[in-house]
Structure 1
């Protein structure tokens, strides 16, 4: 090709490209002019910026230590048009939330420039082994340079890095309101190398600090950072860092505005042999404290703290501890203080719900002012019950003797103000609610309307109803209208025993209105029999008759009308009362039912059905 022709074509292409570029610029200018004519563009810049601020993360949504949230969601408005982009990019508040973990060093630097002097919300989860010394040094310098206008700060790092970070923060923090510090990695609570929050942190000057969270790091209870707080959370300090009782009370006395106190093995240690209540010589009143969450490896430690507090505004108490005595006496000793904080004149409603959850080494109760707290069977329902409860009481007894958990439960229910109980739930296989317990507490529960029971709580409940000698005016549980049974196989003996109890309620003039068996195993004939006594019986979606027809593994075909008990070994693990020896009347065949479910011997009962609940 002739060189001159090649040059000509190149020149023509450049000319076309220049014309395209010119036209694109002209089109952009036209678009800008067109967008300027839209009604929203007539709003002042300040108004549009205020509208955009709705998408900006706010202080109340700021949490630290790995929370996943879209902090830059507001950037989407910058993709709409040039005018909006200019407004957004020039608003310092839009750039105030910075996560050092997710942004590069260059990104952090650019964001800090755009933030100017706006109050900063900084989060740094320093990943173990990911940052080299150079990046960590840049992070430290940026953090130290902007201390004066940090509003919220959350830092999580391995011990040696964490210590360096804290030692470098020596300048005052006049705008700091929220501080969350967490030491992570392999640590030993008893090692001297444990991170300690130095007194030089922020030069002891953070006058606006109201929210402090400390995880796995120690602090002196005489620290200036603890004064004037509204929210304090301390998790797992070393034993040596736990305060003396006098220092702890002195520190709380400097927090008159405190609204939430969350202490995990961070309260004073109860001295051996300390007596309650004679040892309580000084109390501190926290007039605004609404939420108290206290836990410890010793129940007496928690009791010591509760004994020295007066909380006239408390609406939520979470108590988690370990019993150190075989008979649970240490728990029973401090129950009066748990009960004192469980309900007060500040509560608008009485306690109306109790949920009992336990196994052999643990006693757990959810006590609420709402009438229908129920854990059902899902983790979400359990979480909802915990969140809505007025009191969460959980005690673990690793050295408990058999039956101690039942004694602890009985003592707790005696101490707690639950005379206005409306709903009671006890669904696990091991229950402290045996017949004697029901008979002891039922006279207080004249307002109880609904019970949710699993085995063996249902067994004790049925025996209590059969034991009740009261007539219409003085019968036990006169308001009871609904019974929900959960995870129970209704055998012949269980069904007949339940019929006896429910029929007795009818004779006493307080019949049950609803019997919910939707989560039980039962035959259609059992449902039919119970429906003759209770108006509204909710049976399981699939009865065992249908399961048999579908080839279910339940071996019910030869049993006919009821469910086989299988010795109840899978349902009853303890609480075999002495009353159960009186089973002679239960072997009686009802008139008209001589041939139900008869086996080869023709007696209708199996040796394994003797333990009917």
Structure 2
């Protein structure tokens, strides 16, 4: 700093600013420009030196001793929760702000392509810069937006099909006459790299597609009625879609919601091929019953796969024959995966009459001790009266795999008091009409909020379930305790008639203390073990 070097020849100044300022002697503009050049060079040199000292300072901070892989992991976690976004004139860089903290953090982030693989809308050329920084890492494009927003996404990823690893696009406000479509060039170029594909209200051409690398596929479209027939024409036929499935030998998850054109004279199941999906672990489909039945008859899934079917809300004409065939297929699937000599299936039947939603009957079957279901079947109705008038329901329930059941759950969930009297009659009628034979069932779980169905169930136990050892009862806000007393008397009568009940588990609300007291008074000398569980819901 004490050097006497001047800037007359454009060299870097080595004097202190005060001494240099006192010795300024520029008489002309060119001489002033020459000295100004030397000052600029000195400022740049000092700036670089200052940055170097800042890096030395940061290198001695405690956080600097974290290994690079730990910092990178922290950045990865942050990127999952602090997502960049752009909204009108406002926005946030989110996790990208870590690249502005220090030189080391920025270098680490830029050397981690996976951090930049999530597609994000940024101002200017920020989106393009992020995709370039991802380099060879497959891009994850996930966006839920309007028609215009999705169209903008498709424009941004045009020409990057070979870089796509995940494509999840959903239109949240679909328009009857406007629905974007994936360009053929985009989806064809993505065939070698795409592993996850999820589309909602976005169409694509399925003819000739070979998505052999797909691991998961989810397609969601709204129900196509007569007024939307033109949209239905954009869906693939059963033959076309099953042909595409044949190429997806690595597929593990498949979810379809009205993703195939409804069956008609031009779209029949007769010419459809047969697709084997050896690695599929979960299948979820929502269609009209005939189309659902046709699809299940043309694909082969592993015995351990979970199958969930939810039919289109049933109108006035209930396809009794087709629903029967559908349940036959599901029963065959669960029976094929279990030894008949050892009953090992847990079966759950639920009648849901919740207020504000469609009433439905759902059936779940799963291997005992497993969290994964063998199949789930959901049958929604347009009104509660349809369930009441559906006289074939008992016949269809008998098609369930009771022969290999060792545990059964029966649930009647009603959240509206308007249906109370009807619900009681419906369940009681159902129990009387269904000739159930469950000789190997050892555990029965019942959930009701009215005792009469419970009484009907208990009356059937000695005949239907002669080996019953464990009974679990969920009672919700009981108002008529005389009915509970009647249920207790029926249970005592069943035990006296030889029902080998060893355990009774009662789930009641904390406000139903009188129910617990009643049970203790009448059953403490009848059932060897009684457990009480407080239900806080």
How far 1:320 sits from its partner (Å)? 1.1
Say if 2:180 is the partner of 1:182.
no
- The counterpart of 1:416, out of the listed 363, 380, 401, is 401
SS of residue matched to 2:399: helix
Counterparts of 1:407-556 in structure 2, within 5 Å, are: 407-408=392-393, 411-416=396-401, 419-429=404-414, 430=423, 433-434=427-428, 437=431, 440=434, 442-455=436-449, 459-463=452-456, 465-466=458-459, 476-487=465-476, 488-489=478-479, 491-508=481-498, 510-516=500-506, 518-519=508-509, 520=512, 522=514, 524-525=517-518, 527-537=520-530
1:80-129 deviation digits (Å, cap 9, x = unpaired): xx67436425424265145533x43365566567x2x6235xxxxxxxxx
Structure 1: runs of 5+ lacking an equivalent: 1-9, 42-46, 121-149, 373-386, 543-613
Tell me what 1:365 maps to.
Answer: 363
CA drift of 1:173 comes to 2.9
Q: State the match for 2:419 in structure 1.
A: none
TM-score of the superposition, structure 1-length normalised?
Answer: 0.61
Give the secondary structure class of the aligned counterpart of 2:197: strand
Residue number among 263, 266, 287 corresponding to 1:270 in the alignment = 263
1:508-555 superposed Cα distances (whole Å, 9 cap, x missing partner): 15135224152357364564234343344456879xxxxxxxxxxxxx
Q: Distance in 1 between matches of 2:187 and 2:500?
A: 68
Maintained 8 Å contact 1:177/1:209: yes
Of 258, 261, 266, which residue of structure 1 is paired with 2:254? 261
Per-residue deviation, 1:204: 4.2
Q: Go from structure 1 to structure 2 and tell me whether the alpha carbon gap of 1:406 and 1:55 turns closer, same or farther (over 3 Å shift).
A: farther
Distance in 1, Cα, partners of 2:240 & 2:338: 28
The answer as to 2:135 corresponding to 1:118 is yes
Match of 2:281 in 1: 290
Deviation at 1:293, TM superposition (A): 0.9
**5 Å matches for 1:63-74?**
none
Q: 1:312 to 1:349 in 2, by over 3 A?
A: farther
Give the 3-state SS of the residue equivalent to 1:414 in structure 2: coil
Structure 2: runs of 5 or more not aligned = 1-16, 23-42, 86-91, 223-230, 415-422
C-alpha separation in 1, matches of 2:303 and 2:98: 43
Residue 159 of structure 2 is matched in structure 1 by: 171
Alpha carbons of 1:206 and 1:464: their partners in 2 closer, same or farther (altered >3 Å)? Answer: closer
Structural RMSD (CA): 4.7
The 5 A counterparts of 1:71-470 are: 84-85=104-105, 87-93=107-113, 95-101=115-121, 103-105=122-124, 108=127, 111=130, 115=133, 118-119=135-136, 151-160=139-148, 162-163=150-151, 166=154, 170-171=158-159, 173-185=161-173, 187-189=174-176, 191=177, 193-201=178-186, 204=189, 206-222=191-207, 224=209, 226-236=211-221, 238-271=231-264, 282-296=273-287, 298-322=288-312, 323-329=314-320, 330-342=322-334, 344-345=336-337, 350-359=344-353, 361-370=359-368, 388-398=372-382, 401=386, 403-404=388-389, 407-408=392-393, 411-416=396-401, 419-429=404-414, 430=423, 433-434=427-428, 437=431, 440=434, 442-455=436-449, 459-463=452-456, 465-466=458-459
CA distance in 2, matches of 1:72, 1:287: 41
Question: What CA distance in whole angstroms lies between the structure 1 residues aligned with 2:513 and 2:266?
Answer: 51
Q: Structure 2 vs 1, CA of residues 350 and 71 (structure 1 numbering), >3 Å: closer, same or farther?
A: farther
Structure 1 residues 308 and 340 mapped into 2: Cα distance closer, same or farther (>3 Å)? farther
SS at match of 1:451: strand
Task: Tell me by how many angstroms 1:465 deviates.
Answer: 4.2
The whole-number CA distance in structure 1 between the counterparts of 2:242 and 2:53 is 72
Indicate conservation of the 8 Å contact 1:267/1:305, yes or no: no
Determine the C-alpha separation between the residues in 2 that align with 1:503 and 1:540: 24
TM-score by length of structure 2 reads 0.69
Other structure's SS at 2:184 match: coil
Going from structure 1 to structure 2, the CA distance change for 1:321 and 1:217 (only over 3 Å counts) comes to same
Counterpart in the other structure of 1:609 = none
Asked if 1 retains the 8 angstrom alpha-carbon contact of 2:201 and 2:221, the reply is yes
